[in-house]
Structure 1
Amino acid sequence: MNDPGAESTPASGEVSGNDFHGPTAFQVGDHNNQHIHHHVTHAAPTAVDPLDAAADELARVVGAQWQEEAGLRRLLEPAPLPVRWRVSERKVAGRVVGATGEGAGRARFGPLPGLGPATRDRLRDGGGLPELHALYGGLASGRLLLVGPPAVGKTAAAVLLLLDALAHRAARAAPADRARVPVPVLLSLDGWNPGEDTATDWAADRLSREYTLFHGKGGRARARQLLEQGRVSLFLDGLDEVAGRLRGAMVSALETAPFRLVLVSRAREAVLTAKRARLGGALAVEIQPVRPADAAGYLLNRLPAEPSTAWRALTGRLLTEPGPPAAGPPAAGPLAAALAGPLAIALLRDVYGDDDPVDELLDTARFPTPAAIENHLLDHAVVAAYARRPGHPRPRYSARTAERTLRYLAARLAEDGTRDLRWWHLPGWTGHRPRMIAVWIVSVVVCGPPGMVMAWSLYPTPPVGVIGVLSAIGGGYGVARRVAELSEPQPLSSAGWRDIFTPETVRSGIGQWLFVGTGLCLVLPLAFDPGPPIWLLYLVTLPIGFSELLVTGRGHKIISSTPLLSAGSGRRYDKVREGFARPQVVDTRSVGPVDVWRHHIGLRLFLGLLTGFALALYIGPIVAWGQYPLLGAMFALTAALWAGATSVLAGNLAVATALTGVQLHFEEGTPVRLVRFLEDARRRNLLRATGPVYQFRHARLQERLAARNVPE
């Protein structure tokens, strides 16, 4: 399907060949035979278009993100499974001529540099991945639907198409040509309300949250510009997971989107959606089931030169059974029908070793239907993923613990009607009272004694002692109440240290400190004789600069509810904070779940402790100068402990999640360090990461685990 005038030889880093690089799920490995090189032409600073630089950097980050993810899924593994597609005959889209633009006079999107226009003649016979990329880049309407039955490999095909598109863009040496090739970005549709946000607004918001390139001042505006100018194309997955009416609203809202679209959906849901709304000019192509001969060849390539009798029997049956047709009811052979998708093929190879009795799947009494075979493989997927393998470290978790945990997670997600597992929402999965009581006790025991000792040393009378005890109990309760606030779904406050320490916020903090400190140096000598030493005034006003830095950046929640430091941490200060957000980011990257977790459990935890020290520095020296040093030290210690407890123990999402992990360990038997378990499950290809969110690798696995979540 290549244009005769296009380049005939793939450029460096370009992917070619009709190859589906491995199964769609449940494999682990680090082999990677696709390399994407982004060539950036160096020009004089005055000649660089900021949007060109932003698009090139986004391409680099997206490439690194999906190279890693494809490696985890082993989509780039040698001995690949072919992927094939045909124009869908289902009532999903309009006429083909409406998508190709033939005879219409003017195409909405011109062919990408190096590609020719897509025509009906080129679509007639379908094709593989190279032809799919040519279709994506040459379709006049810029609207492509990837549909098919469950577990046929739609998302994997979309990922490989995205990598092909990035490789094609990287091969454009001329900046002018590269600027005409959009950067493909894969997003899930979860969380979009078309009644409130246009497609461009929603996509700009998602880009600004998932890529640090678009964080801070002007970031969302840059993302919007790239979208409006068609310099980003969106690969949207999960249409079939959205409620029916909302699906129709999304499709209608995408009609006017100014960028290229690739929409991925199960065929059944796509047909139902088309009855409500059709994506104008879209072309629907259907991913074809894996042919039995291809499945047998793939399995044999991963076996020893002399396979066992059981494996020879199974692959021999595949070669003789008729495969499933492209449409209509499954073929008579249950094995070929079950192994018609990359998911089941990957599961088969993971569940059964070289010498295992894989031929038991040929027993039609035990496995009379394709669904019976698939369910059997799904039921053993977790055990296979956590089995000890020669040459690999011992798994951190037993298969029993892993399966119990994943069943619980799957059931909770099913109960919430979502596939997205946001670790910072975990505190809402359990009752908050046990955590409140624990934080209350810790706060009273750790933070209360210094204040009580200080009060007793000043006024050693029984009433003061009672008041000190009651104050400690009341203060502990106030700290514990913040735990309940984090049980409600919270937005992510920040994802990296540059979100908080921007050049503007640092300059603002330093300026505020110098302004207040200098003002006191000028005013106080007029009222006091002698006045405090200058060094003391600058010392005690340093916390004011620290609080200014936090409240003008994305760290404002750290000091909320902290006495004397929390001014400006409320919502009314949001517009001011936006003005101080950074204009650009140096260390651009995609934000993953572990990145966000480490940021909250590391930097934000440290800043919470520093908030306690800041309040101590604000109060202690003044008391020490006005009274005596020991009393100042006691005031400082008391302030530091209570402020630290407020901002760290009860105000940090990662701490709240860690406490929830301990609670779930006793209530559900899950691992204590739950986030570490989630990342380990991702490495074992049971979960995947989409931005800062975890998902089960496949909806069928989540459904099966949720259905099996019964009391043991």
Structure 2
Amino acid sequence: MNDPGAESTPASGEVSGNDFHGPTAFQVGDHNNQHIHHHVTHAAPTAADPLDTTADEFARVVGAQWQEEAGLRRLLEPAPLPVRWRVSERKVAGRVVGATGEGAGRARFGPLPGLGPATRGRLRDGGGLSELHAVYGGLASGRLLLVGAPAAGKTAAAVLLLLDALAHRAAQAAPADRARVPVPVLLSLDGWNPGEDTATDWAADRLSHEYTLFHGKGGRARARQLLEQGRVSLFLDGLDEVTGRLRAAMVSALETAPFRLVLVSRAKEAVLTARKARLSGALAVEIQPVRPADAAGYLLNRLPSTPSPAWQELTGRLLTGTGPLAAALTGPLAIALLRDVYGDDDPVGELLDTDRFPTPAAVENHLLDHAVVAAYTRRPGHPRPRYSAETAERALRYVAARLAQEGTRDLRWWHIPGWTGRRPRMIAVWFVSSVVCGPPGVIMAWSLFPSIPSAVAGALAAIAGGYGVALQFLARSVPQPLSSAGWRDIFTRETVRSGIRQWLFVGTGLCLVLPLVLDPGPPVWLLYLVTLPIGFSELLVTGRGHKILSGTPFLSAGSGRNYDKVREVFARPQVVDTRSVGPVDVWRHHIGLRLFLGLLTGFALALYIGPIVAWGQYPLLGAMFALTAALWAGATSVLAGNLAVATALTGVQLHFEEGTPVRLVRFLEDARRRNLLRATGPVYQFRHARLQERLAARNVPE
């Protein structure tokens, strides 16, 4: 990667520092009460600024996140494609001088350490990635609009620019200089309503959800401070994926944002947005088509020294720059797909048949139609794919069609339970709850009142209880917000201390009071034992695990909305395991920790009831009470209250109805690692909007 601090301007017609790695076409597409900030050039923070450590740690986490993601997107492979840009001539921004601030006196943002100001002279000839970074870091307005045609590689260029910006920040030896370089973070615009949240509020909320460093009320406050001080820069993708009226509102709301911005959009939508709202002071640069010589060189670099005749003919035709194939290969998407779909000895020459492929769109559609098969075809030196190409394509077609129906590009696994009929899952949960949890209750009823009516009443109670659990489970078939994304969301220092204090307070209080009213009173160890669940429930209720207790008898008090303010106080993060939160992280948290905590809730209720009954009556009855309470509380917490369980059951149902893999989330992660999907925070997206559209269009009954 080139030196991001280079300030030299290339001569006309030359491009330097323009490595465009791998299939860079795969764009992330999606996805007023305003606080007015009068923002000027940021002075260097003092060495004692407590946010320095937070910013440095955030830079490390973002760097690790996007290094991994860029590798999965194949942006860091050898033999890169060049990326070139020029100042856009489209009517998407104001005058260039408004962005460079030349002659305006005071700049809104000063150049970053090691970079000079971006001037009209430096912008005249465009450039590559290092020049783009120099523009990003030297633009007086701090507003950069990155536009281009569909599949031009805008998002990939933004990712590589982000990595260059992080490298430039890390290269600053002086802490004061490093503190003046903002930490870049890439977010999708999906889900922002500018009429309800300012840009700063929305960004702080997104950061608090996607990075453990900013979890909790205190973490969100730190994120907001970094944003307000301009110590975070936002790379915002997916402007073209929101509705026109909302796009204009977003652009208007970004006017007063106190941080640097890089806004990514398709050129057509950017022009339409500019007619209603124009980002003041923005500089619009446009990604240029890939040159035929660059495309041919990129393809030849991955082939043997003596390519097959078909490849030689194709690259030779490509160099002439004529025909549908040459027109299709001006975008990185088609070039990358061509590399993925056709091997060294495959009949790539068929793409030159103008009868089969009369237009560039026909070439691109053919490549898109074979992308999934190519990704799931076993190649020498690579492990055998877990899924057949037929199964993978069937599943991805279904997923693409569902997202198309919802009008979104974001695939949230916790919304999958709403994709199919709820009745089969409800019946299954009803049956399992009644069969597994009912017998101990029936046996207990028989032992207390040994008669047929008593046993029948116990059975009917089990059936009714199972139905109640199934009704609670139905709520998981409606799109739900994430209740938590990591174990540190639930077990903060304050919630643990609160649980211990509550346990000791109640246990000690009973030790002091009960001997005054009971003679003899229960033993001390029993009082502390039976009050332990009180401390456990206090821990969950005050933290982000409160929904685990929802509906659980004796333990769910306080798990409603009245405790929201209390939870905000206690949900302070422990900055130990700082990382970005991806889809699999959230899934593992719910299917692992939250499932375990649900079972532990059942045990807690058993511990609360069983010893008391055993001491007051006899041990066997106490054991039966404890077992019955544990099973029903576990069913309520695990089956009815866990998004991952609801998603897993939906995966089984979809397997029989649609032929998708049983373990659907594992399949989605596998598709991500094969570069068919990508991760943006805790959600998946297709590698490119065109791939999603093509798969959705082909989702027809066979």
Residues 678-712 of structure 1 deviation map (CA, whole Å, 9 limit, x = unaligned):
00000000000001000000000001001111111
Deviation at 1:35, TM superposition (A): 38
Displacement of 1:217 after TM fit? Answer: 3.1
Check conservation: 1:6, 1:116, Cα contact below 8 A: no
- Cα offset for 1:50? 2.0
Change in Cα spacing, 1:13 to 1:620, as seen in structure 2 (3 Å) is farther
On the 8 A contact 1:32/1:76 being kept in 2, the answer is no
Provide the rounded CA distance (Å) in 1 between the counterparts of 2:14 and 2:630: 57
1:292-319 deviation line (CA, Å, top 9, x unaligned): 0000000011000000000000000011
| Cα distance in structure 2, aligned partners of 1:263 and 1:31 | 13
Cα deviation code 1:403-459 (max 9, x no counterpart) = 111011001101101000000010111111111100000001000000000001110
CA displacement at 1:45 relative to structure 2: 16
Residue by residue over 1:110-135, the C-alpha shift from the partner in whole angstroms, topping out at 9 and shown as x without a partner, is: 00000000000111100000100000
Residues in 1 aligned to 2:96 and 2:63: alpha-carbon distance in whole angstroms: 31
Distance change >3 Å, CA 4–CA 55, structure 1 → 2: closer
Q: Tell whether the 8 Å contact from 2:252 to 2:278 is kept in structure 1 after alignment.
A: yes
Q: TM-score, normalised by structure 1?
A: 0.94
Q: Is contact 1:144–1:285 with CA below 8 Å preserved after alignment? A: yes
Residue 14 of structure 1: CA displacement? 21
2:31–2:188 contact (8 Å) kept in structure 1: no
CA distance in 2, matches of 1:41, 1:89: 28
Give distance in 2, aligned partners of 1:612 and 1:5.
59
Counterparts in 2 of 1:34 and 1:163: CA distance versus 1, 3 Å: farther
Q: 1:648 to 1:237 in 2, by over 3 A?
A: same
Q: Distance in 1 between matches of 2:339 and 2:33?
A: 21
CA gap 1:34/1:463 in 2 versus in 1, 3 angstroms: closer
Query: What is the Cα deviation at residue 499 of structure 1?
Result: 1.0
Deviations for 1:644-702, whole angstroms, at most 9, x for unmatched residues? 00001121010000000001111111000000000000000000000100000000000
Tell me, in whole angstroms, the C-alpha distance in 1 between the residues paired with 2:462 and 2:575: 44
* Distance verdict in 2 for CA 1:80–1:56, change over 3 Å: same
- On the 8 A contact 1:28/1:72 being kept in 2, the answer is no
Question: Do the aligned residues in 2 keep the contact of 1:32 with 1:71 (CA within 8 Å)?
Answer: no
Report the CA distance between 1:8 and its aligned residue. Answer: 8.3
Can you list the C-alpha shifts for 1:224-280, whole angstroms capped at 9, x where unaligned? 110010000000000010111101110111111010000000001111111111000
Instruction: Measure the CA separation in 2 of the matches of 1:532 and 1:598.
Output: 42
Structure 1 position 10, deviation (Å): 16
Determine the C-alpha separation between the residues in 2 that align with 1:195 and 1:39.
22
Are the structure 2 counterparts of residues 67 and 38 from structure 1 closer, same or farther at C-alpha, using a change threshold of 3 Å?
A: farther
Shift of residue 487, structure 1, vs aligned partner: 1.0
CA distance in 2, matches of 1:26, 1:225: 33
CA–CA separation in structure 2 for the residues paired with 1:488 and 1:457: 41
- The 4+ residue runs of structure 1 with deviation greater than 3 A are 1-16, 25-48
Residue in 1 that maps onto 2:424: 434
Number of equivalent positions: 702
Q: How far does residue 341 in structure 1 lie from its aligned partner after superposition? A: 1.2
* Contact in 1 for aligned 2:489/2:543 (Cα 8 Å): yes
Deviations 1:445-478 (A, max 9, x none): 0000000000011101222122111100000001
* C-alpha distance in 2 between matches for 1:73 and 1:5: 25
Change (3 A) 1:346 1:367: same
Residues 28 and 688 of structure 2 are in contact (CA less than 8 Å); yes or no, is this contact kept in structure 1? Answer: no
Cα separation, 1, equivalents of 2:511 and 2:355? 91
Tell me, yes or no, if the aligned pair for 1:248 and 1:273 is still in contact at 8 Å.
yes
Q: Deviations over 1:305-343 (max 9, x none)?
A: 0000000000000111xxxxxxxxxx8621111011111
Q: Is the CA contact (8 Å cut-off) linking 1:36 and 1:166 kept in structure 2?
A: no
| TM-score, length basis structure 2 | 0.95
Contact 1:234 1:260 in 2 (8 A): yes
Moved more, 7-16 or 434-443: 7-16
Query: How many angstroms apart in 2 are the aligned matches of 1:547 and 1:667?
Result: 39
Q: 1:638 to 1:467 in 2, by over 3 A?
A: same
Q: Could you say what secondary structure the match of 2:563 adopts?
A: helix
Deviation at 1:11, TM superposition (A): 23
CA 1:469/1:345 → structure 2, altered by over 3 Å: closer, same or farther?
A: same
Q: Bigger shift: 487-496 or 524-533?
A: 487-496
Q: SS of 2:684's equivalent?
A: strand
Contact 1:26 1:697 in 2 (8 A): yes
* 1:350 Cα offset (Å): 0.8
Alpha carbons 1:15, 1:167 under 8 Å: kept? no
Cα distance change of structure 1 residues 82 and 150 upon mapping to structure 2, 3 Å threshold: same
Question: Aligned residue for 1:44?
Answer: 44
**Equivalents in 2 of 1:34, 1:73: separation in Å?**
37
Task: Give the Cα–Cα distance (whole angstroms) in 1 for the partners of residues 33 and 542 of structure 2.
Answer: 46
Deviation at 1:36, TM superposition (A): 35
**Secondary structure of the corresponding residue to residue 276 of structure 1:** coil
Helix, strand or coil for the counterpart of 1:117? coil
Summarize the Cα distance change of 1:40–1:190 in structure 2 as closer, same or farther, 3 Å threshold: closer
Over 3 Å counting, the alpha-carbon distance change for 1:416 and 1:66 in structure 2 is same
Q: Secondary structure at the match of 2:685?
A: strand
Residue deviations 1:174-202 (CA, integer Å, cap 9, x gap): 11101110000000000000010000000
Taking a change above 3 Å as real, the CA distance of residues 11 and 553 of structure 1, as seen in their structure-2 partners, is farther
CA change 1:333–1:39 in 2 (3 A) is same
Q: Does 1:138 align with 2:138?
A: yes
Q: Distance in 1 between matches of 2:145 and 2:115?
A: 20
Task: Give the match for residue 627 of structure 1.
Answer: 617
Contact kept, 8 Å, 2:87 with 2:124, in 1: the verdict is yes
Q: In structure 2, do the counterparts of structure 1 residues 43 and 191 end up closer, same or farther at CA, with 3 Å as the change threshold?
A: closer
- Taking a change above 3 Å as real, the CA distance of residues 36 and 303 of structure 1, as seen in their structure-2 partners, is farther
Q: Is the 8 A contact 1:37 1:167 kept in 2?
A: no
In 2, Cα distance between equivalents of 1:286 and 1:704: 26
Q: In the alignment, is the contact (CA less than 8 A) between 1:93 and 1:278 conserved in 2?
A: yes
The CA deviation at 1:371 is: 0.3
Match of 1:182 in 2: 182
Q: Deviations along 1:15-61, whole A, 9 cap, x unmatched? A: 98221122226899999999999999999999642211111111000
For the 8 Å contact 2:27–2:151, the answer to whether it is kept is no
**Partners of 1:13 and 1:35 within 8 A in 2:** no
Counterparts in 2 of 1:249 and 1:46: CA distance versus 1, 3 Å: closer
Of 391, 397, 401, the match for 2:381? 391
Change (3 A) 1:478 1:224: same
Cα–Cα, structure 1 residues 434 and 663, in superposed 2: closer, same or farther, change >3 Å? Answer: same
- Distance in 2 between the 1:486 and 1:711 partners? 28
Kindly indicate whether the alpha-carbon contact (under 8 Å) linking 1:620 and 1:632 is maintained by their aligned counterparts in 2: yes
Contact in 2 for aligned 1:497/1:599 (Cα 8 Å): yes
CA distance, structure 1, for counterparts of residue 97 and residue 408 of structure 2: 37
**Conserved? CA contact 1:616–1:639, under 8 Å:** yes
| Paired residues of 1:13 and 1:171 also in contact (CA < 8 A) | no
Is the Cα contact below 8 Å between 2:148 and 2:266 reproduced in 1?
yes
Q: Which runs of 5+ in 1 are unaligned?
A: 321-330
Describe the shift of the 1:466–1:4 C-alpha distance in structure 2 as closer, same or farther (beyond 3 A). Answer: closer
**Mean Cα deviation higher: 39-48 or 13-22:** 39-48
- Inter-partner Cα distance in structure 1 for 2:4 and 2:601: 66
The answer to whether the Cα contact below 8 Å between 2:437 and 2:632 also exists between their aligned partners in 1 is yes
1:521 Cα deviation from its structure 2 partner: 0.5
User: Cα distance, 1:2 vs. partner?
Assistant: 12
Over 3 Å counting, the alpha-carbon distance change for 1:553 and 1:29 in structure 2 is: closer
CA deviation after TM superposition for structure 1 residue 572, in Å: 1.2
Spell out, residue by residue over 1:62-119, the C-alpha distance to the aligned partner (whole angstroms, 9 max, x if none): 0000000111111111111110000000111010000000111111100000000000
Tell me the residue number matched to 1:68: 68
Q: Measure, in 2, the Cα distance between the counterparts of 1:11 and 1:655.
A: 60
8 A Cα contact 2:31 2:408, kept in partner:
no
Q: Distance in 1 between matches of 2:37 and 2:166?
A: 9
